[in-house]
Amino acid sequence: MNNRGIVARVLIMALLPLVLAAGGLSWFFIQARHGEIDDALNDRARVMATQLAKSCEYALFAGQHDELERLAAPLYRQPEVQMVAVADAGREYLLHLGDPPVDFQAPDGETVVVRADALSLLVVSPVRHRADASTDVYLDPTPNVLGYVVLRVTREPTLQRQRDMLWTGLAFALLGVLLAGLLAWRLGRDIVRPIAMLTGAVQRLGAGDLTARVRVDTGGEFALLEQGFNRMAQELKASYDNLHERVRTATAQLSWQASHDALTGLLNRTGFDEALHRLWQDARDAGERHCLLYIDLDQFKVVNDTSGHQAGDELLRQLATLMRHNLRASDVLGRLGGDEFGVLLAHCDAATGEQLGDKLRRVIKAYRYAHGERLYQVGASIGLVEIDASWTDPAQVMSAADAACYAAKDAGRDMIRRYHPGDEEVARRRGEMDWLERLKRAMREQHLLLYAQPIVALGDDGLAPHYELLLRLREGDSGDTVLPMAFIPAAERYQLMPLIDRWVIEHALDMCERGIANGSLDARVVFGINLSGATLSEARFQSYVRARLRDHPAAAAHVCFEITETAAISNMDTAQALIEDLKALGCHFALDDFGSGLSSFAYLRTLAVDYIKIDGAFVRDMVRDAVDAAMVEAIVRVARIMGIRTVAEFVEDGATAAALRALGVDYGQGNHFAAPRPLTQVCGVPARDAAGAGWSHQADSTW
């Protein structure tokens, strides 16, 4: 039913009750009439038999058998009579006309139907001798049975009449159903036509034809539906057009944003790389020469630090406008990130590019930026690369320009440095950039390693055992171990140290808990973890460490964060807050390379550290240099007064160890005592278990 059309539903709903009612009524009346016809046939048969029985009374009484045939012949000629017979009182047939006579049972009373089947009736009527009415003399007071009249009547005419009645009834019922169906069809068509128009319009609308409308030519509720649909389609069309326009505008805006910097409106790194690729391809295909300028602003950080990032952003916008006005119409200017810009000089050789680059440098240096009561001046270090067919890919061009720019910074800033093949300074910078990718890959593929070097108690054997954690890198192809002095400068240069420090903290906490749990470590053990100055200045680092310590609550008391004196002085407020916060959680702090600054002792009152690690420059030659020995002695005496433990680094021989012990230094660290070894060995954890452990928070910092 659910899958049928509306016309079919209307017809079924209209005709089904009618058919059931007509059929029921027809059947009822036909059955009633059928019974009446049967009763009439029975009555007629009995009447005919009774009348013949009365007529035959005298003939039977007088023995006039010929008279019987005369009396029975008219009855036999009736169409429905198949047999007429007369029998005596002993049921011996005296006369029969028609079908052969049959045996019968004499009735006790009057005329009765003694046998009936589907085709005929057998009626028997007794012939009785009664009194003579003319003489009023009873010949016999009890009527005697003289014989019997046997009559067989066929039911075929009756059945034919019944069949005729049945077909007539069915014909009238069918005619009624047809008339009702025609009316229902007409009604359904009147309903279906506007609904079909609405359905077709809805289908077209659903298929995307927003111009679909219906003709309003009906009345009543359908007119309201048609008008409502047209209004809905019109509003939907208007909404779609508005949405399409907004999507087109948003798409254009997103496309622009994908290749442009939101702050300055210049090309961003993605858009600039695409422009660089086009020039590089042109140089390879057509042999043209172009130039790339890589510009890094000098002293820009001062603006952010003193007046805030909003002031720095405004300066970047103004400098972007200034540089645009001093470039050719064909030149491409882009912001590569932070305070770094790139310029593509199309169809320009190196000499011309150097002139244009130097012009930009002088314009930037001459510009004065006023913010509030402050007046700022920044400079620019510029790397220049000539783009010709010798370059294998655009990334190589960008890398060379970046390296040349930072070679200019190292050479004194505010200058332009042109890349030449074989330039050692630029090559060194490019080597650092290569380390950038290698370090990223090392952290992704778990190629960084942690080593631990013991820090040995020099006097009191009851002191807790200490280790300093040291970083190594395993080369993926050769498996060689690389010492940190090879890659730490690159990590510091490209701001990777915060991420590396987090990697160290994550693994150190995990390994410490494992070592204590399996009994390989003294329960009092303390691990020294170095923090870089960049990490110390990160706003989110403090919350990061707290989160990691919540994940490893048992490890907090076994961690001693080491910060260099220089880093602590550069970030005094941050360092002080970090020390106070993490010491409250149970961590320890050590001030590394102590004594290297001119005012080292002044900061001990401010920084609540637990350990002082004496700068190895004093320890290494203290046996041979009285000044170094005096410096170590002074540090030890001040630390003892303040209740701070001392650690001497770079203890390389027994004489130095004995001298430190004599001065009362608490701990010594160096190859004289033990060389660094893998942390997995110290903690008793298989290397395969440690390889994939711990580093699950890379999302805390981006590359």
Residue 34 neighbours by CB under 8 Å, 6+ apart: 162, 165
Domain ranges of the chain: 6-130+140-161, 269-421, 450-688
Is residue 632 within 8 A of residue 663, CB to CB? The reply is yes
Residue 562 neighbours by CB under 8 Å, 6+ apart: 468, 528, 529, 530, 531, 589, 590, 591, 592, 613
Strands (E) in 406-487, as ranges, are 416-418, 448-457, 466-474, 481-482
Q: What's the confidence (pLDDT) of residue 501? A: 92
Tokens of 363: 């314009």
Q: What's the confidence (pLDDT) of residue 138? A: 39
Q: What is the DSSP string of 270-284?
A: HHHHHHHHHHHHHHH
Q: What's the confidence (pLDDT) of residue 695? A: 41
The Cα–Cα gap between 86 and 125 comes to 10
Q: What's the confidence (pLDDT) of residue 29? A: 61
Q: Which tens digits make up the pLDDT trace of 437-464? A: 778 778 777 888 999 999 999 987 678 8
The Cα–Cα gap between 589 and 567 comes to 14
CATH superfamily of 269-421: Reverse transcriptase/Diguanylate cyclase domain (3.30.70.270)
DSSP label of 85: E
Is residue 661 within 8 A of residue 633, CB to CB? The reply is no
Is residue 619 within 8 A of residue 632, CB to CB? The reply is yes
Q: What pTM did the predictor assign? A: 0.49
CA atoms within 13 A on the CB side of 112: 9
Q: What's the confidence (pLDDT) of residue 361? A: 94
Q: What's the confidence (pLDDT) of residue 43? A: 82
Topology of the domain covering 450-688: TIM Barrel (3.20.20)
Residue 6 neighbours by CB under 8 Å, 6+ apart: 188, 191, 192, 195, 196
- Residue closest to 94 by CA, chosen among 69, 73, 115: 69
Tokens of 107: 């009735």
Residue 177's DSSP bridge partners are: none
Mean pLDDT in consecutive groups of 10 residues from the start of the chain, 703 residues: 52 64 63 69 83 85 82 85 86 84 78 73 84 46 76 79 73 76 67 70 75 69 70 79 81 80 91 94 92 93 85 93 93 92 94 94 93 90 93 89 86 88 66 73 82 90 86 78 81 83 92 87 90 84 89 88 82 85 90 70 80 90 91 92 93 94 93 92 75 41 33
Residue the block writes with tokens 């997995």: 680
The Cα–Cα gap between 554 and 101 comes to 124
Go through the chain and tell me how many residues it has: 703
The CATH number of domain 6-130+140-161 is 3.30.450.20 = yes
Phi then psi dihedrals of residue 420, to 5 deg: -125, 135
The Cα–Cα gap between 234 and 232 comes to 5
The Cα–Cα gap between 698 and 503 comes to 8
Q: What's the confidence (pLDDT) of residue 140? A: 47
Tokens of 212: 């679909």
Q: What is the DSSP string of 126-178?
A: EEEE--BTTTTB-S-SSPEEEEEEEEEEE-HHHHHHHHHHHHHHHHHHHHHHH
- Residue closest to 591 by CA, chosen among 574, 577, 580, 579: 579
Q: What's the confidence (pLDDT) of residue 293? A: 96
Q: Which tens digits make up the pLDDT trace of 81-105? A: 888 988 888 888 888 888 888 888 7
Q: Are strands 559-564 and 526-531 parallel, antiparallel or unpaired?
A: parallel
- Residue closest to 398 by CA, chosen among 436, 441, 438: 436
The Cα–Cα gap between 345 and 382 comes to 14
Q: Is 686 in a helix, a strand, or coil?
A: coil
